[in-house]
Chains A and B, each alone.
Chain A
Amino acid sequence: MKKFIKVIVWLIAVIGFGVGLYGLYLRFTTGHRMTDYGSYIPWGLWVVFYIYFIGLSAGSFLLSTLVYVGKIERLEKIGKLALFTAFGCLVAALFSIWLDLGHMARVGNVLFHMNLNSMMSWMGILYSAYFAIILIELWFALRIDLIETANTGRGGSAGFAKFLTFGSTDTSAESKSRDHAKLKVLGIIGIPLAIAFHGGVGSLFGVIQARPHWNSGLTPIAFLIGALASGGALLTAVVYIWGPDKNKQKLNEMMKFLGRIVLALVLFDFLLEIAEFLVGLYSVAPAERLPLEAILNGPYWYVFWIIHFALGVVLPAVILFSTAVPKGRPDKNVGGAIAFACLLVAVTFIAVRFNIVIPAQINPEIPGLEYAFSGPGLKFTYLPTTMEWLVSLCITSFGILIFLIGEKLLPIVKNDNREVA
């Protein structure tokens, strides 16, 4: 079954990337002209995918710190998997936001001409630091396994592993404990960093006074909890398919543990959502009400009610309540059910991100502005074009491919921990 799922994921990623390449081609040849965002709704689907992936990355990374800082024994073997998932999602996120820029070649200006009053400049600093920390952490977490693979493995994988050891050959117990100490320090630095950068993405939206739907102190917190819920859910699904599964009993116990964490986070995130909706709908100001009414009752109501609420909250919560919460020995199908529920949470979370970015922009800042002058992008409605979807498909598939190829080439999960080596 797992083999079949892996083949399906490979197929989806390869086909998605291939088809998505056409979108990328259009992006590079026609720029922004085939997109539906513009002057009055300046941020569209690629910003949605950016905050979606960056949330998945932050959530995954924060869970990896449970292993390296919290030393939670039953999660010990998934630390590297969590880090690598965080890495794949980070690359996809940065790719998405890079393609969204009007001048992609000038992305360095965010660092070279830094404006410390701008949350986006802070993002540039924090992402650079986060990128570095993930890579360094991954290296220390993989070092001994890389040396072993280089020595015992065959073919390209061994050669690649040898290259990545950068000449390190020490596999002694002391060097292993040194690695662990370093990982702990890196993890400790990583926790505030991950909180800062994802809280920072929330603040990037939260500080915009002109958009009352974003302009709330709750926004950065909601971003963080959403990141933990979606990133934790993705990691749980990934662990079931690609994680250490030699000991079925242990895997199911770990899945139950992760499932309970995800359930708590999904419910907490939903609580924040309810608070935001109830307070916002109490208001009579159009700038407060319109985005919420559009989410609940607008032409795209199904994004909230079906994709998010039914498939992303209710169904996973029911599954997780009935599988991850009951005490006692887990039966053998528990892992699969929990993974399915978590996959639902992770995938449908894109609806939450969509409803954060787009509805906040649909309220004309000056009533009647949409009728004052006409032209492409001078409107307060938005529906992503096929080209935008294709680019997002390409980005998503690219992130999945990074994960799949890395998982094949690198000793992310050691073969002796796998049922099928």
Chain B
Amino acid sequence: MALIDIEPHEIRQRMINDLQRALKKPVYKRHWAMVIDQAKCVGCTACTTACVAENHLPPGVVYRPVVETEHGTYPNVHKTFLPRPCMQCDDPPCVKVCPAHATWKRTDGIVEIDYNRCIGCRYCISACPYSARTFDKGYFYTDGTPEIMPYEKEPNFEYGKEWPRTDRESSPIGNTRKCTYCIHKVEKGMLPACVTTCIGDATYFGDANDPKSLVAELLSSPRARKLREEEGTKPTTTYLV
């Protein structure tokens, strides 16, 4: 349990309220954070699918896979699930290695990529200890069929801009891509797609700088852990184990 006194049906409303409060603050005073309760995650991968749909992710690009691990031997078997979005590290190794300043840490905590500046060298992918960055090679799901379906060419809205997929050369094709915490939705007052689709309310989102927010409370939980903390990357995404 998350050690907080909140009814399940109140969780979403509270996160929405937290979000509205955060949006009233200047950008530099926010610090977006995601908390994933592994005890509540059932491994349905609805978040993965929602993310693919929201960001129009092509084949070979995934922002939030759910890693399954089996523990023990029959009859004592358990499974744990680890949804793995971008960790939005406070000391991101991907930013340090980018040769073109095409990725940076925003003041609100998001690690952003400028698709129009990225040269596609994939150095950041090599440097990320979470494999959170993927390379868009320009595939379509309807490749090999008589026609690439129009819905695959529709733009996504990452970082609040339009990114259509009308040809195979223009960005974000040829770029590194990664989870943005759906910042384009968040800045419009909506929760990230993975949060709204989670069937067990296992993913929380909000402003870590706001002591009254739900995520700020959860971050202080004794169950809170960061992934591969020993890397020194100071991940923002936090797990409740």
Q: Is B truly associated with A?
A: yes
Given known A-B contacts A103-B171, A210-B231, A115 and B84 have beta carbons under 8 A apart? no
Contact among A120, A208, A367, A372 with B121 in the assembled complex (CB-CB below 8 Å): A120
Residues of chain A within 8 A (CB-CB) of B97 are 117-120, 207-208
Q: Is A38 interfacial (CB 8 A cutoff)? A: yes
Contact B96 A118 (CB under 8 A): yes
Tell me which residues across on chain B come within 8 A of A366, comparing CB atoms: 67, 82, 84, 130-131, 227
- B60 contacts across to A, CB distance below 8 A: 38-39, 375-378
Asked if A106 and B119 sit within 8 Å, CB to CB, the answer is yes
Q: How large, as a class, is the contact surface on chain A?
A: 35 or more
CB <8 Å contact, B68 and A118: no
Please, which residues of chain A bring their CB within 8 A of the CB of B68? Answer: 368, 371-372
Chain B residues lying within 8 Å of A165, measured Cβ to Cβ, are none
Task: Decide yes or no whether B93 CB sits under 8 A from chain A.
Answer: yes
A377 touches B137 (CB 8 A): yes
Interface size classification for chain B = 35 or more
Interface string of B21-36 (1 = CB under 8 A from A): 0000000000000000
User: Which residues of B lie under 8 Å from residue A375 when comparing CB positions?
Assistant: 59-62, 139
- List residues of chain B with CB within 8 A of the CB of A209: 93, 127, 129, 231
Chain B residues whose CB sits within 8 angstroms of the CB of A31 once the complex forms: 137-138, 168-169, 173-174
CB contact list, B188-216 vs A, under 8 A: none
Q: Is B179 an interface residue (CB 8 A)?
A: no
Residues of A110-124 contacting chain B, CB below 8 A: 110, 112-115, 117-121, 123-124
B99 contacts partner chain A, Cβ-Cβ < 8 Å: yes
Which of chain B's residues has its CB closest to A100's CB?
Answer: B121
Contact with B along A118-132 (1 / 0, CB 8 A): 111101100000000
Is B138 in contact with A372, judged by CB distance below 8 angstroms?
Answer: no
Q: How far is the CB of B132 from chain A (nearest CB, A)?
A: 9
For residue B66, CB closer than 8 A to chain A, the reply is yes
Flag if A32 contacts B174 (CB, 8 Å): yes
Is B66 within 8 A of A102, CB to CB?
Answer: no
Q: Does A419 contact B (CB under 8 A)?
A: no
B residues 54-81 in Cβ contact with A at 8 Å: 59-62, 65-69
CB distance from A72 to the nearest CB of B (A): 37
Question: Is residue B98 contacting chain A, with contact meaning CB distance below 8 A?
Answer: yes
Residues of A within 8 A of B59 (CB): 375-376
Query: Does A302 make an interface contact (CB < 8 A)?
Result: no
Q: Is A369 a contact of B84 with CB atoms below 8 Å?
A: yes
Shortest distance from the beta carbon of B112 to any chain A beta carbon, whole Å: 14
Q: B175 at interface (Cβ–Cβ under 8 A)?
A: yes
Do A39 and B69 contact each other (CB < 8 Å), given the known contacts A102-B119, A118-B99? no
User: Are B117 and A113 neighbours in the complex by a CB distance under 8 Å?
Assistant: yes
Name the A residues within 8 Å of B100 (CB-CB).
106, 109-110, 112-115, 121
> Nearest chain A CB to B85's CB is how many angstroms away?
12
Within 8 A of A (CB), among B77-136: 82, 84, 93, 96-102, 117-123, 125-131, 133-136
A118 touching B123 by the CB < 8 A rule? yes
B48 contacts A by Cβ under 8 Å:
yes
The reply to whether the CB of A10 lies closer than 8 angstroms to some CB of chain B is: no
A365/B173 in contact, CB under 8 A: no
Q: Are B131 and A365 closer than 8 Å at their CB atoms?
A: yes
Pick from A35, A103, A207, A372: contact of B65, CB below 8 A: A372
| Residue in B closest to A122 when the chains form the complex, CB atoms | B99
Cross-chain contact B137 with A364 (CB below 8 angstroms): no
Cβ contacts under 8 Å, A121 to chain B: 99-100
* Residue from B93, B123, B228 with most neighbouring chain A CB atoms (10 Å): B123
A250 at the interface (CB under 8 A from B): no
Instruction: Find chain B residues with CB under 8 A from A107 CB.
Output: 119
A39 and B139 in contact (CB under 8 A), knowing A103-B175, A113-B102, A120-B97? no
Nearest-neighbour CB distance to chain B for A29, whole angstroms, equals 9
Q: Is the CB of B102 within 8 A of A109?
A: yes
For residue B62, which residues in chain A have a CB less than 8 angstroms away from its CB?
Answer: 39, 372-373, 375, 378
Residue of B nearest to A39 (CB): B134
- Greatest chain A CB density within 10 A among B69, B101, B171 is at B101
Q: Which residue of the partner chain, among A32, A39, A109, A112, contacts B125 with CB atoms under 8 Å?
A: A39
Q: In the complex, A120 Cα to B95 Cα: how many Å? A: 12
Chain A residues with CB under 8 A of B175: 102-103
- Complex-state Cα separation, A102 to B170, whole angstroms: 10
Question: Which B residues are CB-close (under 8 A) to A114?
Answer: 99-101
Q: How far is the CA of A293 from the CA of B67 in the complex (A)?
A: 25
A-B contact pairs, 14 of them (CB 8 A): A31-B174, A32-B174, A43-B122, A103-B118, A106-B118, A118-B98, A121-B99, A210-B93, A210-B126, A211-B126, A368-B68, A373-B62, A373-B65, A376-B137
> Told that A101-B120, A109-B117, A371-B67 touch, could you supply 6 new A-B pairs with CB distance under 8 A?
A102-B135, A110-B100, A115-B100, A210-B127, A373-B65, A377-B134
Residue numbers of B with Cβ under 8 A of A are 48, 59-62, 65-69, 82, 84, 93, 96-102, 117-123, 125-131, 133-139, 168-169, 171, 173-176, 227-228, 231
- Which 7 residue pairs are nearest across A and B when measured between Cβ atoms? A102-B120, A102-B174, A120-B99, A372-B65, A39-B134, A42-B122, A109-B100
